[in-house]
Structure 1
Amino acid sequence: MKPIHGAFALAIIGTAIPSISNLGDFASKVTTARAEASRIGDDMTELTLSQQEQAQKNEVAIARYETGCIPVVSVDQQRYVSLVLNLPVIDSASNQPIPVGSMVCDAHGNTGVITDDDSDPTTPGVTQKMAFTGDKTLVDWRMSQYQGAAYYMPSN
């Protein structure tokens, strides 16, 4: 081997040794970037599924308003109140819970179905299967159909 070849070999080895330690850093950065890309992809998938679910619930809520859901008001019948998941809706005239299967709605776009999932006849059905629509025109139309019946959420 000629001395010039030895010098080149030494130069190559001298530059390669620091590069080997950089390979570990590079691999670590690639792993971190892949994990971040995967997290972003998971977030986007979750957001897309959430948006699709909301669109389906919007259609359900619209159908409930169009087919005559029962508006829920305060006990004094002077203002609308929000539906609350897992609470009964009470008829103020009879002071009894409204029947299981009834569709209820509020002035904010929330709808629900009164269900009785505990199979206990001594406990009232509660608001479940909730869906929301932002169609304020439809909600206002349904609320304008309100003729003074008093279905309210109990206060705790």
Structure 2
Amino acid sequence: MEQKKPIKRHKAMQPLSREHHQGLLLSWKIRTGISKGVSAERIKTYLNWFYATHLVPHFRTEEKLIFPILGNDHELVKRAIAQHRRLERLFNTSTDLDRTISLIEEELEAHIRFEERILFNKIQTVANEQQFETIAKLHPESKFTENSNDVFWE
């Protein structure tokens, strides 16, 4: 099997990539919870917290700070924004929880992979140093805060 080279991310964009890592861990937590038979309600409670605490600010940062580098009319940016809206609808759904949670797990992971492998790489090729400095200033590294009220995946 071919070994993939790690993506070299500009220092200014590394905090966003680390947030993506937390999103990938969220998908893993959902899969683990489902495989352990954890109730959809317990998982959804955690998802509601994660969405409000981490995803909403992350999406806003990307949409206001990162995506304009390519322009909101760029096809990759339009795709990412459409995925954000789809994920927002899923996170705000409170019916058919088993199906909704499975869709969140799948679509969040696919979205993050798209942004990391395609969109962010494209942005890095067109961004200038001033734009990177602005990103670094307006979105510095921050420590991930976990909600350990119900660690259903353990």
TM-score interval for Structure 1 and Structure 2 normalised by the shorter chain: under 0.3
Question: Which has the bigger relative contact order, CA under 8 A and spacing at least 6?
Answer: 2
Q: Which has the larger radius of gyration?
A: 1
Between Structure 1 and Structure 2, the one with more strand by share is 1
Between Structure 1 and Structure 2, the one with more helix by share is 2
